[in-house]
Structure 1
């Protein structure tokens, strides 16, 4: 089988050939776990794809929330993107420094706020650099462009909705964390978080959707991975992870297979585990 939404993923070769197109805007959305000790903004300033702007996931967020990088109000999102020169009529290409990880979060957010013409660069900056393609350290000076924010609430779920779903089972919850974190046998990277998972959820570590080169697996391989996790691809899915980043990789893979009923639990495990009133399931069962 082929990808159902093939234009949502672009190759390094395609971007190299189309990088000067007037409607193309390139976005670096790199983000790293605290334990990785990497500064994505500093790395962007030192080396980025020519013409790229930096999408700061921790800044284009609800910075008043105690939770990490929760989605902002539509007004804030449109203001931030406008200043990055991203807006109506643009085809936005997102990449990150891992291959495909945080780029999927930016892809999801841009679609969440109503701009569907957004794609992910397959393999990201590592593949681009490995192929010897052009890299820049010059600051990009974007020209402001109007961005119309129209939030699509079907693409996001909040804590109370996920709690209600435990009883209703209208949607399947799919967790992108490692098996150890999902089962509660491996410590969470954020201090003070309970281990385990949302009761009744399924597990598909996001890396299982990627090749060893950090590119997205084929449609057949994606389908097999979701089905092996226990997910019924004909039913609604809510994706979750540690803090809403890699949940978007699972959402992206489902989008590539043409799944139309996929939402991301924005607060994910961080929000769930911090609330001691919420149920937690542990172990392999």
Structure 2
């Protein structure tokens, strides 16, 4: 089993003032949730945390939501936030472990020393730990991007995976969207899933208290969905956020190099010619 990709609230609390720990609020919400992550961050965040906007630190010309930016843009943005080489980056969010997207993004840019706060801000506050509303004053820090292509998949690579069967596709969307029984939240997308994909809704890997399930329970969830944990895996979802939660869960199971399909269903389901299957897997 490799190093766990999550840290506890107690672990972070003991290291709040450590100079090599950099804390990042990477909260993100669907429009239907009617929550403003930037405003919530300004009202209360873990002391010293900076805000990472996945919709701005992105390829804003792609036409798809929060796609990975170029390494140069990523480095420029995080350097200005005081995030860089030699630091341990701890990412958290306001609920649902969606900070996994930013965890994956840092690793896709070559920064492996990044972890997710298990339970996020909700658990932190529930335990009576400190928050502040002070704007940060980060000192710029050098960040060396080293793009890790093995952690990223595009449409052409997913098509080849379907044709060859060499990589398993694991979809993090809710079951009703996977089967096309429920509509997609984004307009203009077909319902269903990619041929051969397995369905592991991201909610099924998260415990009631918002923490990631322990390894034995995670293993049971993936195996029940027909995922072979010893074979290559690519995760997908609506727009690459909850797919990253599955990648995080698989990292806890000793599979740290799982790839994420960045465009996910927003790209795939929005095209007229990509193969789509409806009904259960």
Q: TM-score, normalised by structure 2?
A: 0.98
> Pick from 148, 151, 165: which aligns with 1:152?
148
> What residue in structure 2 maps to residue 225 of structure 1?
221
CA distance in 2, matches of 1:260, 1:180: 28
**Contact 2:238–2:266 at 8 Å: present in 1 too?**
yes
CA distance in 2, matches of 1:11, 1:239: 25
Unaligned runs of 5+ in 2: none
> Pick from 94, 97, 101: which aligns with 2:94?
97
Indicate yes or no: 2:59 matched with 1:41.
Answer: no
Map 1:1-285; keep pairs closer than 5 Å: 4-6=2-4, 8-101=5-98, 103-285=99-281
**Contact 1:99–1:127 at 8 Å: present in 2 too?**
no
Query: Which moves more between the two structures, 259-268 or 83-92?
Result: 259-268
Task: Provide the secondary structure at the position in 2 that maps to 1:274.
Answer: coil
**Contact 2:101–2:241 at 8 Å: present in 1 too?**
yes
CA distance in 2, matches of 1:153, 1:39: 32
Give the 3 Å change call, closer, same or farther, for CA 94–261 of structure 1 in structure 2: closer
CA distance in 2, matches of 1:99, 1:258: 21
Task: Provide the secondary structure at the position in 2 that maps to 1:25.
Answer: strand
Taking only aligned residues, the RMSD between alpha carbons, in angstroms, comes to 0.9
CA distance in 1, matches of 2:137, 2:56: 19
**Contact 1:99–1:125 at 8 Å: present in 2 too?**
no
CA distance in 1, matches of 2:72, 2:280: 43
**Contact 1:175–1:202 at 8 Å: present in 2 too?**
yes
Q: Across the two proteins, how many residue pairs are aligned to each other?
A: 281
**Contact 1:236–1:261 at 8 Å: present in 2 too?**
no
Q: CA deviation at 1:148?
A: 0.1
**Contact 1:99–1:126 at 8 Å: present in 2 too?**
no
**Contact 1:12–1:121 at 8 Å: present in 2 too?**
yes
Deviations 1:126-152 (A, max 9, x none): 000111110100000100000000000
CA distance in 1, matches of 2:123, 2:2: 24
Task: Provide the secondary structure at the position in 1 that maps to 2:150.
Answer: helix
Unaligned runs of 5+ in 1: none
